[in-house]
Amino acid sequence: MPELPEVETVRRGLAPVMEGDVIARADVNRPDLRWPFPERMAERLTGQQVLRLRRRSKYILADLSGGETLLIHLGMTGRMTASGDPLGQFVHTHPMPEKHDHVVLHMKSGARITFNDARRFGAMDLMPTEGAEVHKLLAVLGPEPLGNDFHEQHLIDAFRGKNTPVKAALLDQRIVAGLGNIYVCEALYRARISPRRKAGRIGAARVAALVPIIRQVLADAIEAGGSSLRDYRQADGELGYFQHSFDVYGREGEPCRTPECSGHVGRIVQSGRSSFYCVQCQR
């Protein structure tokens, strides 16, 4: 499933072609994805100007001129790609329609935004822009890891007394929004913290040091266009490249990349997810 860097990369790719433009026509080709689409979604989108494209956790939010916001979640296999961009940032010719093109936005400029989702685990919803933060999918989220509300004291307080492994704590969207399996593994490696360690038993100084490490891991991934392991593509259809920089994720049995460490990357299963870490230098 795309994590924060992938979603942010898509948002940044779509913003130049969508913001300020008008949805001349919306094609909604099925009644639902993971959940039913909102009533009259095509009608409510048609004619709306996209005022702003923003992100909250793993959701893309398009604020519209009519006072509603389109919420988009890519799910496991969802892609949002642009074609026919008059700014010249994307392929000029529109591709042939594909089987899983479930929602297509035809922009007034001639650009086309296509939401393709083979497994249909993605989602779209419409909600009032004012008070959007109380939407059921957004109200439960913790602070953004790249925002000012995610700071050392917040994480220290969140971990205090927690008996769950630190890996599970960082995946808890109520503690920090948008982190997923890949980037938690990479951040814990850089912090030299074992994913097995109980969150409440990590010293305050080590917890505080996790905050800038998490920020840097995410920034590095965004700069590389995210990680393409299976289905993820950027808005122009290109792959992300951060998977070539993984220190531990997917490297089971390979040597640790820490200089002078003779350990290797191990894999354990925690809450049904694989955790990769150096069995020697992560404690």
pLDDT in tens, 70-102: 999 999 889 999 888 665 555 557 777 889 999
Q: Of 107, 134, 161, at which residue does a domain stop? A: 134
Domain assignment present for 156: yes
Print the SS3 string covering 183-220. Answer: HHHHHHHHHCCCCCCEHHHCCHHHHHHHHHHHHHHHHH
If asked whether residues 127 and 169 sit together in one domain, one would say no
The CATH number of residue 168's host domain is: 1.10.8.50
How is 37-51 classified by DSSP, letter by letter?
Answer: PPTTHHHHHTT-BEE
Domain assignment present for 175: yes
Looking at the annotation, which residues are catalytic? 2-3, 58, 273
Q: Of 90, 108, 134, at which residue does a domain stop? A: 134
If asked whether residues 118 and 236 sit together in one domain, one would say no
The CATH number of residue 37's host domain is: 3.20.190.10
Print the SS3 string covering 58-69. Answer: CEEEEEECCCEE
If asked whether residues 104 and 166 sit together in one domain, one would say no
Q: Domain range for residue 106?
A: 4-134
Domain assignment present for 248: yes
Domain assignment present for 141: no
Domain count, the chain: 2
If asked whether residues 162 and 262 sit together in one domain, one would say yes
If asked whether residues 119 and 164 sit together in one domain, one would say no
Cβ contact 13:236 at 8 Å? yes
Domain assignment present for 145: no
Please write the tens of the pLDDT for every residue from 180-225.
999 999 999 999 999 999 999 999 999 999 999 999 999 999 988 7
pLDDT above 70 for 241: no
If asked whether residues 128 and 8 sit together in one domain, one would say yes
Domain assignment present for 166: yes
Domain assignment present for 88: yes
Domain assignment present for 283: no
Q: What is the pLDDT of residue 87?
A: 57
